[in-house]
Structure 1
Amino acid sequence: MAKALTESRRTRYTRQAMSDALIDLLRDHPLSSISVTALCERADVNRSTFYAHYDAIADLLQDIEDDTMAWVTGALDRITARPDPSAIEDDIARICRYIADNRRHLQVLMSQKAGIDFPERLLGLVYGRSVIAERMGAGSLGDSEADRRMHFVVSGSIGLIRHWMDTDLGDPPEAVAHTIFTMALPTIIPLTASAAAPAASAAH
């Protein structure tokens, strides 16, 4: 785990240098093959400095993930505190913009290279919010059906974000967010509207 140290400009710089070095190494190597020595050489720090901050490389990776999740949690807290349900799409768009702005780290975290559950945690934060679950109509479904729909939504959204990143973020964040929003949280068509067409056909 990350060790508690007095936060200073030098401490922040050192941890950032090690984070950047790990992300660079993960682009070409699996986590299991990255040594502390290789990391320190890339970050231009010595081994004693690394161990003053972390017990293992996996702890550094966890620190990177936790920092990102903390930002996402704060963004969700600010947005979902508003009563307007339309804020949900803004919520997703804000996260997509964050991904675009931090693509260097996020392209690795959203891939399989890091060997962690970051994508599931990221989308789980979004869809775990009660306002979103209510918008999906989960409360009107049985537990099994609601669970299946939630897994479908999360898996599909993760797949789209990975595709977006694999294609070098060719689409704007707002477009990706809109697709996720409209596919995962479709507007429910009133029964009277859907029944109107058959009724009209029967009249002819």
Structure 2
Amino acid sequence: MIKPLTESRRTRYTRQAMQDALIDLMRERPLAAITVKALCERADVNRSTFYAHYGSVEELLRDIEDQTMDWVRAALDQLLQQSDATDIEQGIVHICRYIASNRNHLQILMSSKADARFQQQLLELIYSQRAVLDQLQAYAADTAEATMRMRFAVSGSIGLLQYWLATGLEASPESVAHTIFTMAMPPHGAVGTRSS
């Protein structure tokens, strides 16, 4: 089981080394082919150290995923508190900068090499945010249209982020954030302009 957050700098360093080693190994082979022995060799830790922190390689991956999801939840909560368009775009910039800073892990987590369950959880987390639907409701004729707009905006944004990660983050975080913002958010003045 994962230990509480009251851990030493050395413990955090050891966990980070094991997380980095797992991500490196996942670039080379499927998760099912990664052994604790190979992971320990890559992380330069012994097996007893590994088992002091994790019960299995899969548990280590879940820890990486959980940490990422915790960050996404907090960033999403902060983003959804914004009402001004400039603040919303800056919130998306903040998320894109996080992705750029954590590219090694996220390139794997958001790719076909990782557990598709994580990507599905990410989508479901965003879809479950009632505030996203409420914001889009003002630009839609009804709840069904608002739901379709939300699904399109979220899936498109995730697809763009996956493409950005897969192509080595060639564009700047600010450029990607601006594209997401302009493609996902209805333009000003769109309220009530829908023809019937």
The normalised TM-score by structure 1 is: 0.81
Q: Indicate the residue corresponding to 1:141 in structure 2.
A: 142
Q: Indicate the residue corresponding to 2:95 in structure 1.
A: 95
Give, in whole Å, the separation in 1 of the partners of 2:125 and 2:88.
12
Give, in whole Å, the separation in 2 of the partners of 1:126 and 1:90.
18
- Can you list the C-alpha shifts for 1:76-127, whole angstroms capped at 9, x where unaligned? 3334334435432222221111101111111111111111433444455455
Larger Rg: 1
Contact 2:133–2:147 under 8 Å retained in 1: no
Please identify, of 65-74 and 6-15, the stretch whose mean Cα deviation from structure 2 is larger. 65-74
Q: CA deviation at 1:155?
A: 2.0
Contact 1:110–1:119 under 8 Å retained in 2: yes
Please identify, of 181-190 and 27-36, the stretch whose mean Cα deviation from structure 2 is larger. 181-190
Long gaps (5+) in structure 1? 196-204
Give, in whole Å, the separation in 1 of the partners of 2:192 and 2:68.
42
Please identify, of 125-134 and 107-116, the stretch whose mean Cα deviation from structure 2 is larger. 125-134
Give, in whole Å, the separation in 2 of the partners of 1:137 and 1:120.
24
Q: Indicate the residue corresponding to 1:167 in structure 2.
A: 167
Contact 2:78–2:91 under 8 Å retained in 1: no
SS in 2 for 1:76: helix
Give, in whole Å, the separation in 2 of the partners of 1:155 and 1:149.
10
Distance 1:5 1:180, change over 3 A: closer
Give, in whole Å, the separation in 2 of the partners of 1:5 and 1:75.
20
SS in 1 for 2:28: coil
Amino acid at match of 2:32: S
TM-align CA RMSD: 2.6
Q: Indicate the residue corresponding to 1:178 in structure 2.
A: 178
Q: Indicate the residue corresponding to 1:10 in structure 2.
A: 10
Distance 1:173 1:124, change over 3 A: farther
Give, in whole Å, the separation in 2 of the partners of 1:5 and 1:51.
17
Amino acid at match of 1:81: Q
SS in 2 for 1:170: coil
Mapping of residues 34-183 of structure 1, within 5 Å: 34-126=34-126, 128-137=128-137, 141-143=142-144, 145-183=145-183
Q: CA deviation at 1:73?
A: 2.5
Contact 1:96–1:177 under 8 Å retained in 2: yes
Amino acid at match of 1:163: Y
Contact 1:123–1:157 under 8 Å retained in 2: no
Contact 2:17–2:43 under 8 Å retained in 1: yes
Question: Number of residues paired by the alignment?
Answer: 193
The normalised TM-score by structure 2 is: 0.84
Contact 1:25–1:34 under 8 Å retained in 2: yes
- Can you list the C-alpha shifts for 1:7-60, whole angstroms capped at 9, x where unaligned? 112211110110010010011111111111110111111111111111111111
Please identify, of 119-128 and 49-58, the stretch whose mean Cα deviation from structure 2 is larger. 119-128
% identity of equivalent residues: 58
Mapping of residues 21-40 of structure 1, within 5 Å: 21-40=21-40
